[in-house]
A = this chain, B = another copy of it.
């Protein structure tokens, strides 16, 4: 992938995605090597419920930064493997309240030492001159102030 590396910042979206994919694939391998039946894509939901215990579908979606349909399909999977369960909110019939099952809580306890190993491996990987995690946070912050599109408009004085 010479050309993409050399094209510099224009291909940054491609490179971000590729890096994300690679890390996620390694995540799968690490869980598997530890005998844990868990997919990295479930992490945001499970971790959120670990911290907040009972949340509605949309609350989870907001916490993890996904759309609610994406969240619903994750929740369906997690319900199927019995890591979470849900019940109607009695005070607001529109809402479905989600929480971990005992099995889900046990799995989290099993995963905690694996998470520690992952944190260590990731910290090692990203402890370079320019820290990736900090760089992401900084760029997210910059984008909150003014998106790439807004910046391009300003720079290029677009009519639109």
Contact = CB atoms under 8 A, between A and B. Distances in A.
Contact of A10 (B14, B33, B119): B119
Given A9-B122, A11-B47, A12-B122, 13 more contacts: A4-B63, A4-B64, A7-B44, A14-B44, A16-B17, A30-B152, A33-B149, A114-B156, A118-B148, A125-B139, A126-B135, A130-B134, A132-B136
Q: Interface SS of chain A: helix, strand, loop or mixed? A: helix
B120 A47 contact: no
Interface in A114-160: 114-115, 117-126, 128-143, 147-149, 151-153, 155-156, 158-160
Interface stretch (A19-27, A83-91, A102-110): A19-27
